[in-house]
Amino acid sequence: KEWCLAIPKIELHAHLNGCIRDSTLLELAEVLGERGEIVFDDVKHVINKYGRTLTECFQLFDLFHILATDHETISRITKEAVEDFAAENVVYLELRTTPKNNETKGMTKRSYLKAVINGLRSVESVNVSFINPNGRTESFYDPLQKGGLTVLEKKRIYVRLLLSIDRRETTAAAMETVSLALEMRELGVVGIDLSGNPIVGEWNSFFPALKYAKEMGLPITLHCGEVANKKEIQAMLDFCPERIGHACFLEDDDWEKAILLKIPIEICLTSNLRTERLSSIDLHHFGKLFKAKHPLVLCTDDTGLFSTSLSNEYHLAATTFGLDKESILQLSTNAIHYVFADNELKKTLREIFQAYDKRLV
Ligand code: 5GP
């Protein structure tokens, strides 16, 4: 387990609001409870529950969105999520989030995203390499100003953003998210995700926005096959996304297509187990895909919601599927191929992995 923590890792499937620390959630809930906006004890019970169905998870997300609605809180949870991933030796993080309009808080999709970016800027305990307005990758942290640890003594994490389209959204709202992503490319937005409750919404209503994103050269990842929906799974694979997440309910002919197209799969073991996508972890499709050398990347999905971490996911894969240290390190290194960031950053990531002390293997 310690070894899985020590190796450099890449996280490509993490939802911001699913990564809120339990302690932060409880703190936010307490404040709203005091204001009489929610009943704290009810919320506490839901937050502390272990093992939820997929439906219960989406009910919980609605609660998260009540707790974390103002700009200040969005910045805070972003900062904390980045700190937590860096502490896990995640060297590159693609953090995804759904930009939200919320009139009562004076929030637009654009101001939501700016709050996320402000959160990245506010991280001090680790070096966050992001993109500044003139397009150069830079660290936000200035040791001369803040004192304390110097840049060299601190961990460095590269962070990029994916904007999520929620399946509940209208075509126009999805289009607005894609336009925002295009506008914010200079600020580190590298792609689009389609997520949200898989039993809600129709492929045809997201398709125009996704097609537009594709035409504009934005890489796309889709939550695909979280429930059995053959028609949608086929449409998604025919769309040829750059990556897909979960892929729990693909049938043999779907797998044939995914394998032929070499579509990288974001594997979220704990999430799939906890939301009862499969009866036992050793039956997870990771096993056969790993053997077939299909492009895979281990991810957390929602560290807070599922009480997991990326090193925990690597450890789980290693113990369940009997992977040795070399295979695990190879798995984490291979993720470089599937990141949405540019080739220059991929080169930097290769150097980071090469520099890693292989004597630990
Ligand atoms: P946010 O986008 O608000 O930062 O992160 C929470 C949102 O991510 C949820 O409301 C939901 O739309 C999406 N999400 C998180 N985990 C899952 C998951 O396991 N499956 C799907 N389909 N969507 C998810």
> Could you tell me if 254 and 225 are in contact, meaning their C-beta atoms sit under 8 angstroms apart?
yes
Tell me the β-bridge partners of 161: 95, 189
Q: How many CB atoms lie within 10 A of CB 33?
A: 17
CA–CA separation, 206 and 200 (whole Å): 12
The ipTM estimated for the assembled molecules is 0.99
Long-range contact list for 77-81, CB < 8 A, 24+ apart? 77/16, 77/17, 77/19, 77/20, 77/24, 77/119, 78/16, 78/115, 78/116, 78/118, 78/119, 78/120, 79/119, 79/120, 79/122, 79/123, 80/20, 80/21, 80/24, 81/14, 81/16, 81/19, 81/20, 81/303
> Could you tell me if 165 and 195 are in contact, meaning their C-beta atoms sit under 8 angstroms apart?
yes
Q: Which residues are catalytic?
A: 226
Give yes or no for residue 143 having a pLDDT over 90.
Answer: no
Tell me, in angstroms, the distance from the centre of ligand 1 to residue 109's CA. 16
Give yes or no for residue 170 having a pLDDT over 60.
Answer: yes
Mean pLDDT, residues 326-334 taken together? 96
Q: What is the pLDDT of residues 20-61, one digit of tens each?
A: 998 998 899 899 889 888 888 877 777 777 677 778 788 888
Tokens of 299: 């991810």
More confident residue, 145 or 181: 181
User: Which pLDDT value is given to residue 4?
Assistant: 95
- The residue contributing the CA closest to ligand 1 atom 14 is 196
Range in 12-21, 162-171, 180-189, 349-358 the model is least confident about:
349-358
Give yes or no for residue 136 having a pLDDT over 70.
Answer: no
User: Which pLDDT value is given to residue 158?
Assistant: 95
Give yes or no for residue 145 having a pLDDT over 50.
Answer: no
Tell me, in angstroms, the distance from the centre of ligand 1 to residue 153's CA. 34
Cα separations (Å) of 146 from 102, 131, 140, 185?
34, 20, 11, 29
Q: Is 296 in the pocket of ligand 1 (CB under 6 A)?
A: no
Give yes or no for residue 147 having a pLDDT over 50.
Answer: no
Q: What is the atom index within ligand 1 of the atom nearest the CA of 198?
A: 22
Tell me, in angstroms, the distance from the centre of ligand 1 to residue 54's CA. 11
- Domains of the chain plus CATH, in order, are 2-20+68-360 (3.20.20.140), 22-56 (no CATH)
Q: Is 301 in the pocket of ligand 1 (CB under 6 A)?
A: yes
- What are the residues whose beta carbons fall under 8 Å from the beta carbon of 218, sequence distance 6 or more? 178, 181, 182, 185, 190, 191, 192
Q: How many CB atoms lie within 10 A of CB 210?
A: 22
More confident residue, 156 or 292: 292
The SS3 of residue 163 is strand
Please give the torsion angle defined by the CA atoms of residues 260, 265, 271 and 275, in that order, rounded to the nearest 10 degrees: -30
Q: Is 164 in the pocket of ligand 1 (CB under 6 A)?
A: yes
Quote the DSSP letter at residue 278. Answer: S
Q: How many helices (H) and strands (E) in the chain?
A: 16, 10
> Residues in the chain, how many?
361
Res. 310 pLDDT band, cuts 50 70 90: very high
Of residues 221, 190, 123, the one with CA closest to residue 344: 190
Mean pLDDT, residues 308-315 taken together? 97
Q: What is the atom index within ligand 1 of the atom nearest the CA of 271?
A: 19
Complete DSSP assignment for 232-244: HHHHHHHT--SEE
Tokens of 220: 């796309």
Mean pLDDT, residues 310-319 taken together? 98
- What are the residues whose beta carbons fall under 8 Å from the beta carbon of 4, sequence distance 6 or more? 311, 312, 314, 315, 318, 328
Mean pLDDT, residues 295-302 taken together? 98
Q: What is the atom index within ligand 1 of the atom nearest the CA of 302?
A: 16
Average pLDDT, the chain: 90
Range in 70-84, 136-150, 326-340 the model is least confident about:
136-150
H helices within 216-266, ranges in order? 230-238, 252-260
Position of tokens 């995914």?
A: 258
In a mutational test of the pocket of ligand 1, which residue from 74, 195, 226, 236 has the highest number of ligand atoms less than 8 Å from its CB?
195
More confident residue, 68 or 360: 68
Q: What is the atom index within ligand 1 of the atom nearest the CA of 268?
A: 19
pTM: 0.93
User: Which pLDDT value is given to residue 153?
Assistant: 55
User: Which pLDDT value is given to residue 151?
Assistant: 45
CA–CA separation, 107 and 72 (whole Å): 11
User: Which pLDDT value is given to residue 172?
Assistant: 98
Q: Is 15 in the pocket of ligand 1 (CB under 6 A)?
A: yes
Tell me, in angstroms, the distance from the centre of ligand 1 to residue 266's CA. 14
- The residue contributing the CA closest to ligand 1 atom 23 is 196
Q: What is the atom index within ligand 1 of the atom nearest the CA of 61?
A: 10
The SS3 of residue 246 is strand
Q: Is 221 in the pocket of ligand 1 (CB under 6 A)?
A: no
Q: Helix, strand, coil: what percent of the chain each, to 5? A: 50, 15, 30
Mean pLDDT, residues 262-280 taken together? 92
Give yes or no for residue 348 having a pLDDT over 60.
Answer: yes
User: Which pLDDT value is given to residue 146?
Assistant: 44
User: Which pLDDT value is given to residue 268?
Assistant: 98
Q: Is 274 in the pocket of ligand 1 (CB under 6 A)?
A: no
User: Which pLDDT value is given to residue 125?
Assistant: 79
- What are the residues whose beta carbons fall under 8 Å from the beta carbon of 152, sequence distance 6 or more? none
Q: What is the pLDDT of residues 181-233, one digit of tens each?
A: 999 998 999 999 999 999 999 999 999 999 999 999 999 999 999 999 999 99
- Percent of the chain residues topping a pLDDT of 70: 92
Q: How many CB atoms lie within 10 A of CB 229?
A: 16
Tell me, in angstroms, the distance from the centre of ligand 1 to residue 140's CA. 28
Mean pLDDT, residues 103-109 taken together? 91
Q: What is the pLDDT of residues 226-268, one digit of tens each?
A: 999 999 999 999 999 999 999 999 999 999 999 999 999 999 9
Complete DSSP assignment for 299-337: --B-TTTTT--HHHHHHHHHHHHT--HHHHHHHHHHGGG
Q: Is 194 in the pocket of ligand 1 (CB under 6 A)?
A: no
Res. 134 pLDDT band, cuts 50 70 90: low
CA–CA separation, 326 and 148 (whole Å): 36
